Amino acid sequence: MISEKMQSAFLDQINKELFSEYLYLSMKAYFKSLNLNGFANWMDVQVQEEHAHAMGMFDYVIERGGRVELLAIDKPECNWASPLEVFKAVLKHEEFVTSRINALMDVAEETRDRAAMILLNWYIKEQVEEEAGAGEILAQLELIGADKNGLFALDKELAQRTFVAPVIG
């Protein structure tokens, strides 16, 4: 049985994961408006990943005998000055999510919820990958600068990304 404190922490994180899905959907719309369909595709994969992350926690709470109550999702940003600014925001957001996953692990350790700790180890590893991926694209955009050919080459590369449903846990 999941403790109330652990359940509450998971419910908060489910909300953060759903906000992430919403944020990346907003970023996808931004890229679509610029006809950068490869960047939009990259964001679409992020949308699907964030949904899977939220559902992994959603299912976990239920499996542990808890009850899921969904919280209101904040409105995400919808305007950026450039693709570079979007990826600065992506990296900053992923760093925030990492801090929240770490705080969730702190609650699991405090409540001695070993099952939650095992689950959260997967999310911690995933966040390392998320930050690295966002950081790599940000670095590429910084190198490209104002070079439109470089931007279109990166767009073409990002169009190749596909969603692979994660096996959480």
| pTM: predicted TM-score of the whole model, two decimal places | 0.96
Q: Compute the chain's Rg from CA coordinates.
A: 17
**pLDDT at position 100, please?**
98
Mean pLDDT for the stretch of residues 90-96: 98
Do 164 and 52 touch, CB atoms closer than 8 A?
Answer: no
Q: Is the pLDDT of residue 169 over 90?
A: no
Q: What is the mean pLDDT of residues 112-121?
A: 98
The token duo for 26 is 């907003």
Query: 111: Cβ–Cβ under 8 A, 6 or more apart, which residues?
Result: 3, 5, 6
Burial 6-29 (b: 16+ CB within 10 A, else e): bbebbbebbbbbbbbbbbbbbbbe
Give residue 43's pLDDT: 98
- Cβ distance 54 to 98 under 8 Å? no
Residues 30, 144: contact at Cβ < 8 Å?
Answer: no
Q: Which domains does the chain have, with CATH numbers?
A: 4-158 (1.20.1260.10)
Position 120 pLDDT exceeds 90? yes
How far is CA 28 from each of CA 86, 105, 151, 152, rounded to the nearest angstrom? 10, 30, 16, 16
